[in-house]
Structure 1
Amino acid sequence: MRKRFMVTGVLAMFATAAHAESSVTIYGLYDAGLRYVREANAAGESSLSMGSNGTSTPNRLGFKGVEDLGGGMSAHFNLETGWNSGSGALESTTGSPVTGTRALFQRLAIVGITHARWGTIDLGQNYSVGWRTSYDYDPFNYRFPTIDPVSAIVPGSSVSQVTAGIRFHNDVQYTGIFGPITVRAEHSFGNVAGSVTTNAATAGSLAYKSGPLAIAGSYTTRKIATTGGVSTGVPAVAGPPAVAGEPAVNANTPTYSDRSWSAGAAYKFGPVRVSGGYNDERLAGALNSVVPGLPLTPARGDTRVRVGWFGANWTVSPYLDLAGGWFRTWVDTPIAPAAGAASGTSGKKDLLMFAATYSLSKTTYLYGEIDRTSLSGNQVIGYGTKTTQSHPLGVSAGLVVAF
């Protein structure tokens, strides 16, 4: 009997030691507030709403764990989901633009291994290399993601940068930190039988951080497939299988290439940080017909979306932070033969926005934001025309609690 108790005690010791080398953390963030938008629809009417996935910072609930494997190696996982602050509904309500299915952990679903010297490899659904790189020179560091265009133009699993992806499905991503230099590379598998390139993406980035200076850049290339249907009359580039809210596309058109690069820098002067950057995306062979009932056909030329920006952050005190930025978006659309167009269209959008956050504690803060947009050429914000969108204005305010 004594031997039996001794063995049990030894096993318990090993179990305790093993448990001490691993940990699981539950975390989250809740952002609830109000947003007013002038010229919020095609009729030019205003709106005041509460429901969102987080105006300042997306709502999230996550689970992450780390296990020490010894020899400078560790294994980890991270699962994260989001929801609407007004209704409590899951953020993923219309399905993935690529798979057409809803996802529980649509924000993050990765597992990986880290070596203290050689870096980290992650597998699963992950934030893209482009997203992780541009974060360092966005004036708002991806706060107000539905307003700040920087987080909306980084490449991910989406029809185009216009509809934003920021994450890649079926992704293998490497991150290596060597002193002031960070290297990232990834490949997202398309999972299409008979083709290793269809719906696949490859990206790389290089960043330098030393003291107050940060400089970074990234490059992403994708091959996007098209499937079934005809034009619905909604001008859009073609993409993966149609789901709710996405345009139908022509099954007889092959894949088209999407190339995107970004570069920028940030520098900190005491409590003030200034930053700026540029992103350039070209979609070659994109489908672009605006005639309802006719098949979408390849456009003559590239669809090009460019965004340039600069801004500043000022840490006024440990409690108050101010930020401002100017963003210009250029969109150039090529000739659409099926529409009988003689030439393509182009336009630009200028966005000026300011925000303030006031910390009530280490995990709770209040925020306020105001933004004003100027449009020219063929640019609108997803609805209406220039007649009903002369100078759209938005105002946001809310409360964020992290846990």
Structure 2
Amino acid sequence: MTRKISLHAVALAAALCASSAMAQSSVTIYGIIDTGVVYTTNANANGNSVFKMPSLTGSFPSRIGFKGTEDLGGGLQAMFVLESGFAPDTGAMGQGGRLFGRQSYVGLKNSWGQLMLGRQVNMTYLSQLKTDVMGPNLFAIGSIDAYLPNARSDNAIGYLGNFSGFTVGATYSFGRDASAAGGPAATNCPGEVAGNSKACRQVTALLGYDGKGWGVTSSYDILYGNTGASNGLSSSDNTDQRVTLNGYFMLGDVKIGGGVVDRRTRAAANTNTDSDLYYLGVSYPLSVALVLDAQVSRLDVKNSPNDVTLSVARLTYNLSKRTAVYGSLGYIKNGGTSSVALDAGGTVGAGKNQLGVMTGIRHTF
């Protein structure tokens, strides 16, 4: 009898331990499905217009993700994120066809911050989250510099910490981009080359401060090339550097945000470029459900007539906490022979201006 009682006690203790362990862990499935239709003028050299369903984004890029934490005791937690982007118009995978192209990392976090290993958004991406009111909208600064909404690093070690209003962070990548499938998130620079400590390396850093109703953030980003890499970075001596300064402040419920991205490219065949991308925007809630966002941005290319000016407005109506409908109106002016399309992933005739209208629906889960 005593033996049976002991066995029951052991079984009960094991069950309680298992229950406790499960209670200390959590996994969440989340995502966004966002798509619509867009009309743009001057979509080619002949000045023809096009009416289509976009692939890259609507108001936000579509994705499905899995994230989880496990309590390790003493305030320490294990964490992971697996996030896959996709094109809702065709169902194709995004980020160069990667299974978890948006994020794929594991790490630890505590009061000192979080340490992450794997593919992750870097500090350039994080530096503009609070200041760019349009975000990754189809008409936005990502149309001018496609890297900004796709600022992620493969093979990266990352750190992010928050201390009394200050945010500090950094990433170091051994090989910044392993995909050769094309597009803004696939530039064929896998790195990790024996005997070449700079090949496809990338370093990003961030320092920010958030006070009551305002904030400012600065970031630094330099990436190195190697043989076969795109965008003219065909040697590890070639670099693409961005330095950002971003800020926002609140006037009641109205947010005003802006910043500048200074970019310097040292590419092959002396194709060096210097440019500054300025942006200023406002987010104005007209009611609890209706929000108006507007932004003006300008690309100033040094010693070149190929400057670009983009103006965009977006009206979003929230049908619920998870579902919204929206419409955007945008206009882009291309100077010289510039051919920056208004819509991310779109086309425009060289030197031609472009007008666009978009409407869509977004659901989060």
Aligned partner letter, 1:376: G
> In structure 1, the residue corresponding to 2:129 is in which secondary structure?
helix
Is the contact made by 1:218 and 1:262 (CA closer than 8 Å) also made in structure 2? Answer: yes
Aligned partner letter, 2:200: N
> In structure 2, the residue corresponding to 1:278 is in which secondary structure?
strand
Q: Does 1:277 pair with 2:277?
A: no
Which residue among 93, 96, 103 is the counterpart of 2:98?
103
CA offsets per residue over residues 182-222 of structure 1, 9 Å max, x none?
11111111312212221101121111101111111111122
CA 1:51–1:313: 2 relative to 1, 3 Å: closer
Aligned partner letter, 1:400: R
Which residue among 299, 313, 322 is the counterpart of 1:363?
322
CA 1:150–1:306: 2 relative to 1, 3 Å: farther
> In structure 2, the residue corresponding to 1:400 is in which secondary structure?
strand
> In structure 1, the residue corresponding to 2:335 is in which secondary structure?
strand
Q: How does 1:96-135 map to 2 (within 5 A)?
A: 102-116=97-111, 118-135=112-129
* Structure 1 residue runs without a partner (length 5+): 96-101, 156-160, 229-235, 240-248, 288-296, 333-343
CA offsets per residue over residues 237-277 of structure 1, 9 Å max, x none?
413xxxxxxxxx6xxx5531222100021010002111110
Q: Per-residue deviation at 1:91?
A: 1.7
CA offsets per residue over residues 151-171 of structure 1, 9 Å max, x none?
86486xxxxx7xx74101111
> In structure 2, the residue corresponding to 1:136 is in which secondary structure?
coil
Is the contact made by 1:152 and 1:166 (CA closer than 8 Å) also made in structure 2? Answer: no
Partner of 1:328: 298
Is the contact made by 2:170 and 2:204 (CA closer than 8 Å) also made in structure 1? Answer: yes
> Using the alignment, how far apart are the partners of 2:226 and 2:142 within structure 1?
25
CA 1:254–1:28: 2 relative to 1, 3 Å: closer
CA 1:204–1:152: 2 relative to 1, 3 Å: farther
Is the contact made by 1:226 and 1:255 (CA closer than 8 Å) also made in structure 2? Answer: no
Aligned partner letter, 2:358: S
Q: Per-residue deviation at 1:378?
A: 2.4
- Name which structure has the greater RCO, CA cutoff 8 Å, separation 6+: 2
CA 1:126–1:73: 2 relative to 1, 3 Å: same
Identical pairs, percent: 30
Partner of 1:310: 280
> Using the alignment, how far apart are the partners of 2:348 and 2:317 within structure 1?
35
* Structure 2 residue runs without a partner (length 5+): 176-191, 342-346
> In structure 1, the residue corresponding to 2:130 is in which secondary structure?
helix
Q: How does 1:135-150 map to 2 (within 5 A)?
A: 135-140=129-134, 142-144=135-137, 146-150=138-142
Aligned partner letter, 1:193: A
> Using the alignment, how far apart are the partners of 2:213 and 2:16 within structure 1?
47
Q: Per-residue deviation at 1:399?
A: 0.8
User: For this pair of structures, how many residues does the alignment match?
Assistant: 341
